[in-house]
Amino acid sequence: MKVPIEDYFEDILGKAARGLGLSASQIADQTGLSRDAIGKALRGEFNEDHVRRLAGPLRLDAEALVAAGRKTWYPNEVDLEGLALFNTVYGDMTVNAFVVWDPATGEAGIFDTGAEAGAMLTFIEGKNLTVKSLFITHTHGDHIAAVDQVVAAYSCPVFVGEGERSTIGQSFSPGKGFNLGSLEIETRLTWGHARGGISYCIQGLKRPVAIVGDALFAQSMGGGMVSYRDALETNRKALFTLPDDTVVCPGHGPMTSIGEEKRVNPFFPEFKG
């Protein structure tokens, strides 16, 4: 199943406006648009001229924002041995979890659980993988809903970044490394959406992989619920410094790559053109 793009252009506008703390009247002052026009844009009425005028004050890339509004882009398909995505329904949305394994040894890690882990467990059994650990990107409910189910199945340790201040597993400091067979996992702090969000950067498959939770989405990013500024900044430092062919595995929406996000993600104008 093709996982749909998570955010529409109006979600992007809303996240930027909230993140920058701009009220509708401040945006009206800066764009010359009426509050009515701004409200329509935020509700998803796409008017290209209005969207272009909104981009500057919201520090978004105008072309990328217009492209999001036209809904024509979708990331290149990712087909990588040693990586599988599981998309499950959580309330009125869907959430991703991932399995990564060393194809040579079958040693595997689970990254977040999604709403329900049944399909993932069946897949792991079918491939005869040996689950070593459950790694958590952040502890929002949709990402950890099936921790008990996974632990019951594999009695594996659960690792969670210390900034999350959670008791669901063993805390670790960002920068700590892990191994799955010959695969090497580096942990990077990508906080701002969550207090202690972790991105797991994995080397050893045919392409580098980054499992990022809600730090970055295809063509968007998670909201800066803790700090929008730090969400942007840690993405720039920790994720956009990865090689362009790195597969990005977000908590919502389809997989993408660092190279594609440099071109299409409206939140990061500095990589365009």
Contacts with Fe ion by CB under 5 A lie at: 140, 214
CB atoms within 10 A of CB 141: 10
Name the token pair of 97: 């979890």
Dihedral (Cα; 139, 144, 145, 150), 10-degree rounding: -160
Nearer to Fe ion, 214 or 261 (CB): 214
Nearer to Fe ion, 99 or 231 (CB): 231
3-state secondary structure of 113: coil
* 142-179 CB burial, b ≥16 within 10 A, e <16: bbbbbbeebbebbebebbbbbbbebebbebbebeeebe
Nearer to Fe ion, 101 or 135 (CB): 135
Minimum separation from the CB atom of position 54 to Fe ion (A):
25
Nearer to Fe ion, 214 or 260 (CB): 214
Minimum separation from the CB atom of position 168 to Fe ion (A):
15
Minimum separation from the CB atom of position 33 to Fe ion (A):
31
Minimum separation from the CB atom of position 138 to Fe ion (A):
6
Minimum separation from the CB atom of position 190 to Fe ion (A):
11
Nearer to Fe ion, 90 or 271 (CB): 90
Q: Which residue has the tokens 């993408």?
A: 256
Nearer to Fe ion, 107 or 142 (CB): 142
CB atoms within 10 A of CB 36: 10
3-state secondary structure of 124: helix
Question: HEC string of 162-225?
Answer: HHHCCCCCEEECCCCEEEECCEEEEEEECCCCCCCCEEEEEECCCCCEEEEECCCECCECCCCC
d(CA 221, CA 193) in angstroms, rounded, equals: 9
Minimum separation from the CB atom of position 26 to Fe ion (A):
27
